[in-house]
Amino acid sequence: MRLLRYTLLTLAALSFIYPFIWMVSASLSSESGLGDLVLLPQGFTWANYETVFTKIPLGRAFLNSAFVAVLTTGLVLISGAMVGYALARMQFAGRNLIFYLIIFTMTLPFQITLIPNYITMVKLGWVDTYFALIVPFALNSLSILLFRQAFQSLPQALIDAARIDGAGELRIIFQILVPNVLPTALTITILTFMGLWNEALWPLIVIRDEPTMTLPQLVTLFSVGGRAEGQLGVKIAAAVMLALPIILLYLFFQKHFIRSMASSGLKD
């Protein structure tokens, strides 16, 4: 019985891990060795990566994605902490209204706002600029709620002591409170960064200009359009480039990844 359990678990684990190993190995194989399903590359070559980099501006897209994801995640942390603090520790008219608006926003299907948001980008002249990729995502409801919850659990004495020392509200938030809720900040960082790094639909809508494209967008267009010219290895190499950073982060922060996703109940 015990053996059966381990056998099933191992088979399942293999079915989740093996495709990724095959992908890396295939991306390093020559086109003729590609049909094989072994773990090591057949006819080892870097050619697929060279082709990818010469055919599509992958390096540029990689930097775009990193820039957008890092900057936006920073903004989400700042805006989330500010709004979360106001909701958690201050009394003001309209506080409950804001709270309910946040809940409402979270249940709103994105299909409703997709086209008007695109039109907003057109009217602001943000199409084909980084603004279109950053500003709409610079604040999110989940991070506000998570910060609010974390700040509520801190003792008032912490804030009072800082006030006596003459600290302003922003200093209280970022120098006193945020360092006390680092696990929450880490959860928000992971979820936001991962979502931004993987986002493909919105960039497809607002970016038409190749030098501004993000990595998932470029890889999508490359796969759907004819530019891979049926060269499988090249397509897979592009996919590896997209997967690698997030997998490396995952290997470092595995526990936090799992905990943050489980506690938020989010997907994608």
Residues, the chain = 268
Phi, psi at 134, each rounded to 5°: -100, -55
CA 264 vs. chain centroid, Å, equals: 14
Subset of residues 32 to 71 that bind other proteins, contact rule: CB under 8 A: 35, 37
Q: With contacts defined by CB under 8 A, name the span among 39-47, 50-58, 99-107, 157-165 that binds other proteins.
A: 99-107
Q: For helices 182-198 and 58-89, what crossing angle results, to 10°?
A: 140
Q: With contacts defined by CB under 8 A, name the span among 56-64, 111-119, 157-165, 180-188 that binds other proteins.
A: 111-119
Among 96, 111, 164, 226, binds other proteins (CB under 8 A): 111
Among 85, 145, 181, 192, binds other proteins (CB under 8 A): 85
What x-and-dash track marks residues 149-188 binding other proteins by CB under 8 A?
Answer: --------------------x-------------------
What's the rounded Cα separation, in Å, for the pair 268 and 191?
9
Q: What are the structure tokens assigned to 164, written together?
A: 């006596």
User: Of 58, 27, 67, which Cα lies nearest the Cα of 197?
Assistant: 67
What x-and-dash track marks residues 235-254 binding other proteins by CB under 8 A?
Answer: xx-xx--xx--xx--x---x
Number of residues that bind other proteins (CB under 8 A): 80
Q: What are the structure tokens assigned to 150, written together?
A: 């974390």
Nearer to other proteins, 45 or 141 (CB): 141
Q: What are the structure tokens assigned to 84, written together?
A: 């979360």
The answer to whether residue 26 forms part of the interface with other proteins (CB under 8 A) is yes
Cβ atoms of 170 and 106 within 8 Å: the answer is no
Q: How far is the CB of 92 from other proteins (least distance, A)?
A: 4
Residue 163: helix, strand or coil by DSSP? helix
Q: How far is the CB of 215 from other proteins (least distance, A)?
A: 9
